Structure 1
Amino acid sequence: MAEAQLFVSQDEFTCSVCLDTLTDPVTIPCGHNFCLKCLSNYWDQSQECSCPQCRHTFMPRPELKRNTLLNEVIKKLKKTTLSPPPPQNYAGPGDVECYFCTGKKFRAVKSCLTCMASYCQTHLQPHYEGDALKHHKLVDPDRNLKEKLCEKHQKSLEIFCKTDDSCICVMCVVTGHNGHKMVKLETEREEKQMSVVREVDENEKSFTALIRCIEEAHRKLTETIREQEKRELEKAEVVMEQLKKEIEKLKRREAELKELSETKDHLHFLQTFSSCCVLPADGDSLSFTVTADFSSEDLRKELSGLTKSLEKISHADIMTRTPSAHEAPVFALQPPEPQSRDDFLKCEFVL
């Protein structure tokens, strides 16, 4: 008669201590199997006798006896279908090691905030299978589990006290925080995270308004300078035309005086001299005056002061409260209305 095929799971014949196929298997009262040597060493190094897989504690220490039947099954399966346990990643630099691995440790895949220990994939299985462990809180591997314990009670920090602005454990709630306002850690984080988002948005609005004001001031200033340049050029053209006419007039006068100086008619010279040599009145002289309060040097000083103020803001410590958008600084560029010709030529900038 042909021998029946037996399909079994690889995990059923793997020791959860050494993560290898069982050698000299022993079965303890909770029903889990281990290598005789692995379990003996584990209990010798522990203060209590507990199952490495389900954490059940035994008092007194059970006597370990080889499971002959299981040993024979493993021997037969090794010759047929049983293959080495699936490979796992050993812990390297920067990885969190499994707390329960002996010898060369595997990389932890989860940390338990209830057990305050980290587990590789194999040693983590009881948390998914056993009723006693499935309610434990598992998180991504964390090498700083001790920082998550209350220094006073050695309990997991699971609550945030808003009154004292601190993380506390359940023992702290009843021993020193009666009447305080308390919330879950997740709730407090979400509140603070939203507060940060709001503050970033307010800062963004303030700086956007400031940049918009600076750009508008730059645009108006450039327009004003161009307009002043155009006015001065137009006025200079008028003055140049007047100067050309006056030069022509002076040349005619020079010719008349030269002709007069060369005449031999004494009577004509004396009669004409008085009218030709009359000097023009002060008011008839052509004058050209440019008056302006606007100074490039003054403008550069003002802009330098503004730049230093902005640099001071950028290097200052950011306060918790930031001004809202309507409190943002506003810079205006507003030249006064000209009241006279002289005022028209003056440019006054207020930044």
Structure 2
Amino acid sequence: MAATSCVLFEEQFLCCICLDVFTDPVTIPCGHNFCKSCITQNWNVNSVPYQCPMCKKKYKTQPELQVNTFISEMAAEFRQSLEKRGSESSQVAKSGEVPCDVCTGAKLKALKSCFTCLASYCGIHLHPHMTADALKRHLLTDPVENMEGKVCMKHKQALKLFCRTDQMCVCQLCRVLEHAAHDIAFVKDEVQAKKTELEETEATMKQMIQDRELKIQQIKWLKVHGREDAEREIADGVRIFTIVIQTAEKGLNELIEKIEERQKLAEEQADGLIQELEQEISALTKRVSDMQQLLHTEDHLDFLQSFANVNTALCTKNWREVSLSLPSYEGTVVEAVAELDEMLIREKRHLLYDAKLKRVQHYAVDVILEPYTANPWLVLSDDGKQVRCGEVRSNLPDNTQRFSLYINVLARESFSAGRCYYEVQVTGKTDWTLGVVNESVNRNGIIPISPVNGYWALGLRNGNEYLILSSPVVTLSLISRLCRVGVFLSYEDGLVSFYDVDAAVHLYSFTDCCFTEKLFPFFSPGLSHGGMNSAPLIISPVNDTD
């Protein structure tokens, strides 16, 4: 049968009891047709037995059910036509799609859900809702799962409203009855509001994730550099203690040499006295022998003649007045230890300062000046490594990055994590300022240079006043003029330190700083003062020889 014919006559093939296409259609005496099972079940449960559901005609006995062959054939053909159309327009429900609640076997994809029936229907089983007058009044919607959760179980109406007071979905009757004085909104509007809230929460959480990922990167960075710091610290310790041990060994050797020299002189003096005494003993022994020989001479004449030749004079050295003093070593070791201690103190101070400077020099970075931030009075070198104050103000375009009042310029490089170090030559200048600054610092106004306003800086004023620009300002007492200044930043530690590179001396540190944004190295060569301060600040290469 053609599709058009099916549409024209489809109501003729629907059972008025089940509202579906006839199955085993039968005719009762009044001429109305029903499914055999439908009319039989109706008569079994109806309080008025043997009544036609359509015309209400009653029978005293159960009428004979006559098979309507024509209707049966037409209904079968019509069912096949519906199934063919349904199979062409329907698909088996996939994962995540709502299946038809009526299909047996393979569940087809539902096209609509009915809030009245609390069921979902595919194209085949949705047909009665499109044709039967009783079913046309049902509330259909796009396919949804869990139909029971979409309908008010008390009033059997769709949950189209949301009670913000009780935080629950309600129907129209709920609004009038139980939630009359409550804050009510359409589900659609509430969903939009909740989605907006979720989007904001999602954005916040994504930011939290980014913050935590950044923190992980920072911790990993600290872990790696912590290991490097430990290795360098061990190397510095070995180097320093090696020097200390060598110095101590040198002092010990000098002490031993000094004591041995004294002992040698004493022994040489003793040997000289012994030799002299032995010579005198030998001479005296010979004279005693001569005297004994003379004493045994019996010839008086010979005795007297020989006596004149015998030296009886006792012209010898008075050895009782001669004494040998042993060298005194008292205080020698103490003096040597004191000298060693003094020398070690000097060496320690030098080594520690030198080691500390070398430690931060490991974090040297290449710093280049950014022309877009430079005050119009400043003159930058082509390589971005030098800056001085000129005699003429340049005609430069205004931008939010440029310093308009302070004679400042920033570096291109910024730092929001980790450590960095750079050195600046300040030779021949009477006025300058160096340090780091917050990205958001006021670049168009005059504000005190201090940590409160985003500056961590060291400066020279009047040619001989070295100042730490904090609140209040701290004056540094230096033995000699600075020629090269080292600047060290440790972002996580909240530390900004300054060094006299040539003397390897730590000058000052800002500690316990709370950095919350990007930091830039900044440079101010100061005003020219008629050429007295015309020398440039020079970013010099770091000479880390360790």
CA contact (8 A) 1:14 1:22 kept: no
Give deviations 1:65-123, integer Å, cap 9, x for gaps. Answer: 86565456679x79xxx7895579999xxx96745x8xx68747243113323435422
CA–CA distance in structure 2, aligned partners of residues 249 and 34 of structure 1: 133
- My pick for the range that moved more, 170-179 or 259-268, is 259-268
- My pick for the range that moved more, 114-123 or 58-67, is 58-67
Higher relative contact order (CA 8 A, sep 6+): 1
CA contact (8 A) 1:150 1:157 kept: yes
Residue pairs, 1:189-228, within 5 angstroms: 189-213=191-215, 215-216=217-218, 219=221, 222=226, 225=230, 228=233
Residues 165 and 22 from structure 1, CA distance in 2 versus in 1: closer, same or farther, beyond 3 angstroms? Answer: closer
The corresponding residue for 2:25 is 24
Residue pairs, 1:326-337, within 5 angstroms: 332-334=492-494
Q: How does the TM-score come out when normalised to structure 2? A: 0.38
Residue pairs, 1:279-294, within 5 angstroms: 279-281=333-335, 282-286=337-341
Task: Give ranges in structure 2 of 5+ residues lacking alignment.
Answer: 48-52, 60-64, 275-322, 353-490, 515-546
The corresponding residue for 1:3 is none
The answer to whether structure 1 residue 278 and structure 2 residue 438 are counterparts is: no
Residues 254 and 133 from structure 1, CA distance in 2 versus in 1: closer, same or farther, beyond 3 angstroms? Answer: farther
The corresponding residue for 1:145 is 147
Give deviations 1:221-244, integer Å, cap 9, x for gaps. Answer: 726545644543442243133134
CA contact (8 A) 2:114 2:138 kept: no
Secondary structure of the residue aligned to 1:115 is coil
The corresponding residue for 1:37 is 36
The answer to whether structure 1 residue 184 and structure 2 residue 186 are counterparts is: yes
2:196 maps to amino acid: M
What is the CA-CA distance between 1:58 and the residue it aligns to?
Answer: 5.7
1:284 maps to amino acid: E
The answer to whether structure 1 residue 133 and structure 2 residue 139 are counterparts is: no
CA–CA distance in structure 2, aligned partners of residues 118 and 174 of structure 1: 29
The answer to whether structure 1 residue 265 and structure 2 residue 271 are counterparts is: yes
CA–CA distance in structure 2, aligned partners of residues 72 and 219 of structure 1: 83
Identity of aligned residues (%): 20
Structure label with greater radius of gyration: 2
CA–CA distance in structure 2, aligned partners of residues 257 and 185 of structure 1: 108
Give deviations 1:129-158, integer Å, cap 9, x for gaps. Answer: 56762873234363x433333243233322
CA–CA distance in structure 2, aligned partners of residues 23 and 112 of structure 1: 28
1:232 maps to amino acid: G
RMSD: 5.5
1:333 maps to amino acid: D
2:493 maps to amino acid: L
The corresponding residue for 1:242 is 247
CA–CA distance in structure 2, aligned partners of residues 172 and 154 of structure 1: 11
Task: Select 1:252's aligned residue among 253, 257, 261.
Answer: 257
CA contact (8 A) 1:14 1:85 kept: no
Give deviations 1:252-289, integer Å, cap 9, x for gaps. Answer: 23643563575443769956723797334252234688
CA contact (8 A) 1:159 1:169 kept: yes
The corresponding residue for 1:122 is 124
CA contact (8 A) 2:163 2:169 kept: yes
Aligned length, in residue pairs: 280
The corresponding residue for 2:165 is 163
CA contact (8 A) 2:495 2:512 kept: yes
2:338 maps to amino acid: G
CA contact (8 A) 1:15 1:21 kept: yes
The corresponding residue for 1:305 is none
1:278 maps to amino acid: T
Secondary structure of the residue aligned to 2:328 is helix
- My pick for the range that moved more, 82-91 or 269-278, is 82-91
Q: How does the TM-score come out when normalised to structure 1? A: 0.55
CA–CA distance in structure 2, aligned partners of residues 46 and 120 of structure 1: 31
Higher strand content, 1 or 2: 2
Higher helix content, 1 or 2: 1
CA contact (8 A) 1:25 1:34 kept: yes
Residues 190 and 105 from structure 1, CA distance in 2 versus in 1: closer, same or farther, beyond 3 angstroms? Answer: same
1:265 maps to amino acid: D
CA–CA distance in structure 1, aligned partners of residues 132 and 115 of structure 2: 17
1:138 maps to amino acid: T
- My pick for the range that moved more, 66-75 or 197-206, is 66-75
CA–CA distance in structure 1, aligned partners of residues 249 and 219 of structure 2: 40
What is the CA-CA distance between 1:171 and the residue it aligns to?
Answer: 0.6
Residues 336 and 272 from structure 1, CA distance in 2 versus in 1: closer, same or farther, beyond 3 angstroms? Answer: farther
CA–CA distance in structure 2, aligned partners of residues 238 and 184 of structure 1: 83
Secondary structure of the residue aligned to 2:169 is strand
CA contact (8 A) 2:248 2:340 kept: no
What is the CA-CA distance between 1:192 and the residue it aligns to?
Answer: 2.0
